[in-house]
Structure 1
């Protein structure tokens, strides 16, 4: 059973001695792995409490907490130009594991339709992602989060495509495209970096002018920097993408990766395969149907693009 907001508020008062909970509100977009609420104390300060709902989520939370403690140092030094959650207290759960409480990171969730070409928020977003990728990979060592070299990461993607193919639900033409790109070894010669691993509009906070915070670091790893750019290349307004990428490239030192954009676009497509696999593994027919529809639309769209290219 999910914990009620009142139960989460009680955990916050245990985690932060002296916290006088005045109000509590459930947090939208909290996901399936955590119960999350915002607790407002008597002084008006806002706190976020997160409690895992299953052991695997608890293990992920512990790794994320260890990483956040290290990331805070890079925020303080200015190397990371936006805030991250700072764990302030913990409450042990009866079933095992801990809930974590942190002060709410200021800002509102990014609206992709607010991105415009040029300086301002769009450039700030590119710089923030570049700063993540400039962090020392040693940050990930010893906190229970994975590290991949380029070959291992390509093999991981190939395994996902093979598993998706076995479902029989991926259009054959799309599979052939994916396999050809994964077999192109030159495309996968990249320098692994720290990646956030779960960048979405809900996890990027802004004040309307700059990126103020990045949330939800439980999927961080050392892997392909293209993964953190995929969602923007797929979903951001087309006229803003060039500004994002220009700011990103200016923020990276010694960036020599001619296939970065191509891998990012591929990563966006492979996200649909992972959505399909999630539906199959969980037995959720609605998710499977949704994934199949999106894969068919992608297949039709890429077929049109290839036809246009052949006629050019």
Structure 2
């Protein structure tokens, strides 16, 4: 059962001594794993409170804390231009685990539909993603987070596909398409990087035409940089995507990866498979039905248009 905003505000007062709660608002970042609220103190400063709904989410929350501190140091060192939330306190939950309070990153969530090709915010987005991928992999590895080689990541994707096929719910033409792409070893010769792992509009905060912050780092790992471009390949207009990838490439070191966008497109397609498998694992029939429907729609889109 979701915790009330007032209950989370009370936890914030425990986690941050002296925090005088003036107002509390439910955050759009609440989801199946976390209850999230925004707390305003008497001075108008805003704080984010996140409380896990299950033990696995709580473990991810704890792992993220060290990474956020390391990312703040990376900004101080000039490696990135953006802010990240900073944990300022924690309060125990009666059912186990802890709620964590963070400083709020300035800005408003990115609206992809508002982006235009050319210099400005669109190019800044590409530069920001490149800065993340240029971070030392030790920054993630030192926090005990997952780290893959290109080959081990390809094998992980193949295992995901095999598990999906075994359910009997993946359209065979989609499964064959993905298997061919996963077996095409020329696609999988790349240098793994730090990746955010859960990029989308709501993870980028923007202010005055630049990216002011990046939030939600719990899926960070060392893996395929294409994963962080998957949402753009799936949703951005082609001219906007061109601007982003040009700015991204210019900000990366001399790393040739001719199949970056191919793998990003594959990752965006296989995200539907992961949604289906989430429903299977949690025995949620609504999610399973939703996942099956989206896979059928994707199959129709790809093969009816001869984009196999």
TM-score interval for Structure 1 and Structure 2 normalised by the shorter chain: over 0.9
Is the contact between residue 108 and residue 207 of structure 2 (CA under 8 Å) also seen in structure 1?
A: yes
In the alignment, the residues of structure 2 paired with residue 97 and residue 70 of structure 1 have an alpha-carbon distance, to the nearest angstrom, of 22
Cα deviations across residues 146-198 of structure 1 (Å, max 9, x unaligned)?
01111110000001111111111211111111000111111111101000000
Is there any run of 5+ residues in structure 1 with no aligned partner, and where? Answer: none
Deviation at 1:208, TM superposition (A): 5.6
In the alignment, the residues of structure 1 paired with residue 223 and residue 171 of structure 2 have an alpha-carbon distance, to the nearest angstrom, of 28
In the alignment, the residues of structure 2 paired with residue 284 and residue 86 of structure 1 have an alpha-carbon distance, to the nearest angstrom, of 34
Aligned to 2:142: 142
Aligned to 1:240: 240
Aligned to 1:299: 299
In the alignment, the residues of structure 2 paired with residue 130 and residue 31 of structure 1 have an alpha-carbon distance, to the nearest angstrom, of 28
In the alignment, the residues of structure 1 paired with residue 202 and residue 14 of structure 2 have an alpha-carbon distance, to the nearest angstrom, of 28
Cα deviations across residues 79-123 of structure 1 (Å, max 9, x unaligned)?
111110011112122233221111111111111101110011110
SS across alignment from 1:146: coil
In the alignment, the residues of structure 2 paired with residue 36 and residue 144 of structure 1 have an alpha-carbon distance, to the nearest angstrom, of 25
In the alignment, the residues of structure 2 paired with residue 237 and residue 258 of structure 1 have an alpha-carbon distance, to the nearest angstrom, of 20
Is the contact between residue 124 and residue 247 of structure 2 (CA under 8 Å) also seen in structure 1?
A: yes
Matched, 1:109 2:109: yes
In the alignment, the residues of structure 1 paired with residue 277 and residue 51 of structure 2 have an alpha-carbon distance, to the nearest angstrom, of 26
Aligned to 1:132: 132
In the alignment, the residues of structure 1 paired with residue 56 and residue 144 of structure 2 have an alpha-carbon distance, to the nearest angstrom, of 12
SS across alignment from 2:306: helix
Is the contact between residue 115 and residue 237 of structure 1 (CA under 8 Å) also seen in structure 2?
A: no
Aligned to 2:31: 31
Aligned to 1:20: 20
SS across alignment from 1:255: coil
SS across alignment from 1:206: strand
Cα deviations across residues 17-62 of structure 1 (Å, max 9, x unaligned)?
1111011111113211111111100001101111112111111011
SS across alignment from 1:306: coil
Aligned to 1:91: 91
SS across alignment from 2:49: strand
Aligned to 1:78: 78
RMSD: 1.3
Structure 1 segment 229-268 matched on structure 2, within 5 A: 229-268=229-268
206-215 or 171-180, larger mean C-alpha shift: 206-215
TM-score, L = length of structure 1: 0.95
Deviation at 1:65, TM superposition (A): 0.3
Is the contact between residue 90 and residue 99 of structure 1 (CA under 8 Å) also seen in structure 2?
A: yes
Is the contact between residue 46 and residue 103 of structure 1 (CA under 8 Å) also seen in structure 2?
A: yes
Aligned to 2:170: 170
Is the contact between residue 72 and residue 84 of structure 2 (CA under 8 Å) also seen in structure 1?
A: yes
Is the contact between residue 230 and residue 265 of structure 2 (CA under 8 Å) also seen in structure 1?
A: yes
In the alignment, the residues of structure 1 paired with residue 48 and residue 290 of structure 2 have an alpha-carbon distance, to the nearest angstrom, of 32
In the alignment, the residues of structure 2 paired with residue 29 and residue 287 of structure 1 have an alpha-carbon distance, to the nearest angstrom, of 19
